Structure 1
């Protein structure tokens, strides 16, 4: 029997998930955002309580003016994929009328979801390449100082249009998503001595740091290390115990950048899947 948790049970869930931070880090951060009011409303489902095997968090309050798709964040305990399959086959979790994004999945969960959606016959899942999860603790952070004449500032609202045009996943969000991140999370924009933008990076509502971009004519000068390390420093100063980053395994440049800054490979593969309802074809 699938259970929907009451908000009064969220703190206990957060404590229990903390025992497997790497596997559950995105749900952990979403819950922390609920407590701080950055995300006012979520729906949390577990296969049983409190000895759960599967947790699915649906983001309610960021729809539809910020996130174009329904967002579901998954956590499955190690070797409990059968329980995940049972939940997906037995309950109407994914909205069959809307496109959805299934987030925070371990690679081992992918085949389970393909199979369950095929049997439900309500839509199809688009394959995705898993990302590698890298983590860092404050004592391991190497902060690269800002060069003389350069300036670090929060990302301004007037940068949103160019950010959307440069992001591969812009069709999943509205411009309001970037305004929401800028207004609620840590962001860093680096400016040159002539006040021209060099690049930027931001913290997301899932707790990760990402979306790093250096403008083409500014690359190859070490600016990425300044932006990444100073953003992570700000996230730690805001109270984080661990900072995570999800990176394409083929992106060796980004992986090496994170390693030089103090991140460590968590040896975890995770990712997300897109759901498309048949009736919208």
Structure 2
């Protein structure tokens, strides 16, 4: 299934970094911490949009005073000049398996060596990857030696441009814990207990916006993934055609932009309604030769 990605990336200043990092395997894979994460963010910005997901995650991670990011190991093949960077969520509960492993790579051979490292990837459990489609052959080849590919979702990444923020005149709020079941029940990849933990974490720790009815119940909403991507935009059928989605996208985009985060989202090619909405709000497409893909391996 193809998607478009529309985005806006804000400028960030370079930050000094420590020259030391912790060696965690015989393959010299490094687990970044502290100032190294800030330096990695600066380096990844040079590779937008192909680095967008890992860049977006580090933007949130490095500003933990504003949000509480997921517990994730950030691994590189070497430091400070890395060719592969992987953001791997820590698995504390079964629901954590549903979270994406985000991958950025500049070198296919080093990527293959890195993902074969059992410390980096545990191929015995359920896995969900977000990775440039140019590397999909390597990922699936390594996986096929272990287990079969379960599902695949392709996404097209687009280039950042300026974003217009309009005034809506609509009173909106944020989602809370009581809305988890509603979001899970309407999300196309949700409707199961395994997605609940991820959605609960997104609502609790990352920006969201919703339109509330007279009884303070959400009728339209949008969330932010741990990678910084806006998503799960949904309006209840009986409330569509009222401009709620436009209001929510504008408000959340402005909020993310003001905080210094990249502003972007993934849209399926067939979803021309959403595509038209985001285009009208000032989002533009980027290099169509770049694709980000999602792969799931093994049973959950």
Task: Calculate the TM-score normalised by the size of structure 1.
Answer: 0.84
SS of 1:23 mapped into structure 2: coil
Q: Structure 1's 92 and 177: CA in aligned 2 closer, same or farther, altered over 3 A?
A: closer
Higher strand share: 1
Aligned to 2:132: 106
Matched, 1:265 2:294: no
Aligned to 2:102: 73
**Number of residue pairs matched by the alignment:** 267
RMSD between aligned residues? 2.5
1:27 to 54, 66, 83: 54
Matched, 1:123 2:147: yes
- Counterpart CA distance in 1 for 2:184 and 2:251 is 23
1:254 to 242, 266, 274: 274
SS of 1:141 mapped into structure 2: coil
Structure 1, unaligned runs of 5 or more = none
SS of 1:73 mapped into structure 2: strand
Structure 1 residue 222: Cα displacement: 2.3
Structure 1 residue 85: Cα displacement: 2.3
Higher RCO structure (Cα 8 Å, ≥6 apart): 2
Higher helix share: 1
Structure 1 runs of 4+ off > 6 angstroms?
none
Aligned to 1:47: 77
Contact kept? 1:133, 1:247, Cα under 8 Å: no
Structure 1 residue 223: Cα displacement: 2.0
- For each residue in 1:155-186, what CA deviation from the matched residue of structure 2 results, as whole angstroms up to 9, or x when unmatched? 13222111111112224844233232222221
Contact kept? 1:190, 1:200, Cα under 8 Å: yes
